[in-house]
Amino acid sequence: MSKPGPGGHVPIERIDDCRWRIPMSARADMRVEGIVYADDALMEHIRNDPCLTQVANVATLPGIVRASLAMPDIHWGYGFCIGGVAATDPEQGGVISPGGVGYDINCGVRLIRSDLTESEVRPRLETLVNDLFARVPCGVGGHGRYKFDRHELKKLLSRGSSFVLGLDLGTAEDHAATEAGGVLPDADADAVSDRAYERGKDQCGTLGSGNHFLEVQVVDEVFYPEAATVLGLAKGTVTVMIHSGSRGLGYQVCEDFLKVLRDAPKRYGIELPDRQLVCAPVHSNEGQRYLAAMRAAANFAWCNRQIMTHLTRQSFAHVFGKPADQLGMKLVYDVCHNIAKFEPYEIDGRTVNLCVHRKGATRAFPPGHPEIPEPYRAIGQPVLIPGDMGRASYVLVGQAGAMAETFGSTCHGAGRMMSRTAAIKSARGRSIQKELAARGVIARARGRTGLDEEQPDAYKDVNDVTRVVEQAGISRRVCRLRPIGVIKG
């Protein structure tokens, strides 16, 4: 997947301090404008990136509504930019595009809180990180301790996290604190290929590689005390953040359907500016089959993160000599950021069920939304935004502006500024592990490049990214989480 040249030829106009417009005149075939959320400093990094071309390209998709959107963590991806949001209307020829979901279907983040304080954890931190590293499988192609035969996998792909909860790998509270209850209905396990089954049979409960991580953190600053109290987060307490997705199974589903849909645009008379935007009408047989397989892969991802939650609790219980529930280890929330969902929105005075693509973007429903679990409904949906392993991550809550502007969406992370190849080159002659240790972060990885390619300098500053989405009124910062221990592939 080669990256094209600079995208600086795409015209972009300032709307206000945190919004920019790509006008429909940027391409003759744009159906809507492009909107990018960024401040001046972030736009300096974005302006000459080919991701802006991708925002304009997405605006040409049949049935797209309102605008092609990009969050402040925007960077180049496959077809859609990472940080891209697009909603299509199936009743107006709207399409589903695998590039708008991504290869790692339902890559997402979950946060576990505890009653432990940093002063209690610091003396045992190295022991804890080493135990987590030994207990939670990670790395390229990593194999887990939980293996499922095809019959079991079919149940898992259909039922989502309720399947592994039925194996005593979590609690009923975990189910309630997971987006969509950890399952997308209408998943079809039979739409998943034999190769995907083979890749997934021993990868459920594994972290993977790349930007996936398990991180021990401390609540470093609280910005919205009322919401923090509802979420069970207090300054100085320890949390665990897990970032992973559907592993090889989800990757294979994407790979398979990029081939299945390759000729669909021609069959349905769809002209595309980029073949990576391959798509099919939502109501077509091809579109429905991809959606059914994508939902199955999403269900796998929720099971994956649930098993790792169970392993994390085991690790803490072992190191601190108390059951996890006595340590207060409760799931705060789990959100996904590579997915397509059908959600109702008001369009031109009528309610329309839209197909919302979130590619490296997180759902951010506002206070009062019926899909938010009851304990959180008054404050808004929890939003989990990982940064880099040397600075911080954030907890936010959704705001009303997200429903009005971004189809209930916000950013999903800090966003890369440096390619993995460039990051590895930049790390030559340095020890990223020692640099992190100097910041008080104990890090473990399967190979040297795991830390090198994910070094803090490779990412935008998450403080800047979250400030933009708060200023735009689409999500509100609750607290900042400082890393103290990291495991990566």
Using CA atoms, how far apart are residues 470 and 477, in angstroms rounded to an integer? 7
Specify the DSSP element, H or E, that contains 194.
helix 194-200
Q: What values do phi and psi take at 458, rounded to 5?
A: -75, -10
Using CA atoms, how far apart are residues 228 and 398, in angstroms rounded to an integer? 14
Nearest to 96 by CA among 47, 140, 61, 121: 61
Active-site positions? 412
Q: Please list the alpha-helical segments (H only) found in 261-381.
A: 264-267, 285-320
Q: Which residues pair with 22 in a beta bridge?
A: 34
Burial of 419 (0-12, 13-18, 19+ CB in 10 A): middle
Using CA atoms, how far apart are residues 187 and 183, in angstroms rounded to an integer? 9
Give the pairing type, strands 67-75 and 33-37. Answer: parallel
Nearest to 481 by CA among 221, 226, 234: 221
Nearest to 56 by CA among 79, 30, 93, 76: 30
Residue 169 sits at the vertex; the CA angle it makes with 168 and 171, to the nearest 5 degrees, is 75
Specify the DSSP element, H or E, that contains 220.
strand 213-222
DSSP letters along 72-117, please?
Answer: EEEE--SSSPEEEEEEE-GGGT-EE-GGGT-SSTT-EEEEEEEEEE
Q: What values do phi and psi take at 461, rounded to 5?
A: -80, 115
